[in-house]
Amino acid sequence: MQQQVQDKNAASLQGRDVLTLLDFSPEEIYALLQSAEELKAQQKEGKCPQLLAGKSLGMIFENSSTRTRVSFEVGMTQLGGHALFLSPRDLQIGRGEPIKDTAKVLSRYVDAIMVRTNSHEKVAELAEHADVPVINALTDWYHPCQALADLLTVKEQKETLKGLKTAFVGDGNNVAHSWMIACAKMGMDVYVATPSGYEPNEEVVKEVEEIATSTNSKVVLTQDPVEAVKDADVIYTDVWASMGYEEEQTRREESFKGFQVNSDLVNNAKDDYIFLHCLPAHRGEEVSAEVIDGPQSVVYDEAENRLHVQKAILAATIK
């Protein structure tokens, strides 16, 4: 019966956009995680089911990428499909073609569109006009694919999700938004420690708090990293100046003093805590080398899981 329910949840994702995890139920998220686990296990055995033979993915990148581009492209190939890398220089959208026209035309060529851009509004508009699934591979507001890989990593390491305490220390950015949503959806407590002025978006916080009420989990915002990390099972951080904010680097370094994840800070967590970072990382800034390169860091497992999660998303959404 449980397998039938999971299969039903996975089947319900066909043709769906993946713009933010706010749009997915806990059951649907769990189904994606289970699919990722199964695809990962099959790959380790040298098996790659050709679930998307003859299918194509259009990948629009307006920002540079390592993990996102490689994981989606390799994932599509392993599933028997084909991926096309499309930069603004390659598309007429880079010369001012309306997003609606790009969406309509690409929908005639490919079976799904993946987009990485600074503007969440642009991804939402593309999804509004596209006739195929649109996958958000990072915007200024959300990074849902990363959050799914984070959940998979925690599940592998802790064997459970519900009831864990997680701490996000640093900038209340797109990664923090999606991590908060993911935690609340799966019944994990999430503490977010940011300097004043760098808190997560208020609208996102309200939505997360509503979710947390239904899953009996906690959402706590604080300016005290020690409070956030105390007895935490999971500690997460990201760069202090995300893409698009590089010109604020010097000012942010000053604002984020005291928010580095280092040995002194993690000593407040549980002895068996794990450390997450979406990468790329700046050692000596948001995290010390001894933490990110230490035995409780699982950042490379986390990065690998981007591949397995992308495959699960593609297999579930492409018709």
DSSP track, 261-314:
B-HHHHTTS-TT-EEEE-S---BTTTB-HHHHTSTTB-HHHHHHHHHHHHHHHH
Q: pLDDT tens for residues 122-148? A: 999 999 999 999 999 999 999 999 999
- Position 198, amino acid: Y
149 pLDDT band, cuts 50/70/90, is very high
306 is in an annotated binding site: yes
- Is 95 known to sit in a ligand binding site? no
Mean pLDDT for the stretch of residues 5-29 = 83
* Percentage of the chain lying above the pLDDT 90 cut: 89
| Residues sharing a CB contact under 8 Å with residue 43, sequence separation 6 or more, in sequence order | 78, 308
- How far is C-alpha 4 from the geometric centre of its chain's CA atoms? 27
Give yes or no for residue 307 having a pLDDT over 60.
Answer: yes
Distances (CA, A) of 284 to 260, 287, 290, 296: 8, 6, 9, 17
Q: What confidence tier does 89 reach under pLDDT thresholds 50, 70, 90?
A: confident
Q: Residue 1: what pLDDT?
A: 40
CB-CB contact of 25 with 289 (8 Å): no
**Has residue 257 got a pLDDT over 80?**
yes
- For residue 191, what are the β-bridge partners? 167, 220
If you average pLDDT over every residue of the chain, what do you get? 94
N-terminal to C-terminal alpha carbon distance within the chain = 25
Mean pLDDT over residues 213-238, rounded?
98
| Residues whose CB is less than 8 angstroms from the CB of residue 205 and which lie 6 or more positions away in sequence, other chains included | 180, 199, 219, 221
**146 labeled part of a ligand binding site:** yes
Q: Hey, what amino acid is at 39? A: L
The pair of structure tokens assigned to 271 is 């002895």
Is 296 annotated to bind a ligand? Reply is no
Distance, CA of 142 to CA of 8 (rounded, Å): 26
pLDDT of 8 strictly over 80: no
The answer on pLDDT for 113 being more than 50 is: yes
Catalogue the active-site residues. 116, 143, 146, 238, 278, 306
Does the pLDDT value for residue 258 go beyond 70? yes
The structure tokens listed for 73 are 């492209």
pLDDT at 10 over 80: no
Tell whether residue 65 is among the known ligand binding residues: yes
Any binding-site annotation on 12? no
**How far does Cα 242 stand from its chain's mean position?**
14
pLDDT of 6 reads 43
Poorest-pLDDT segment among 210-224, 244-258, 291-305? 244-258
248 token code pair: 């604020």
| Predicted pLDDT of residue 93 | 74
Cis check for the bond before 280: say yes or no (omega within 30 of 0).
yes
**Tokens linked to 295:** 């035995």
Q: pLDDT digit string (tens) for 150-193?
A: 999 999 999 999 999 999 999 999 999 999 999 999 999 999 99
Question: 66 a known binding residue?
Answer: yes
Distances, alpha carbon 132 to alpha carbons 12, 17, 81, 319, in Å: 15, 8, 15, 9
**What percent of the chain lies above the pLDDT cut of 70?**
95
Position 11 scores a pLDDT of 57
Q: Determine if residue 16 is labeled as part of a ligand binding site.
A: no
Q: Is 9 annotated as a binding residue?
A: no
pLDDT at 240 over 50: yes
Q: Is 295 annotated as a binding residue?
A: no
As a whole number, mean pLDDT of residues 245-270 equals 93
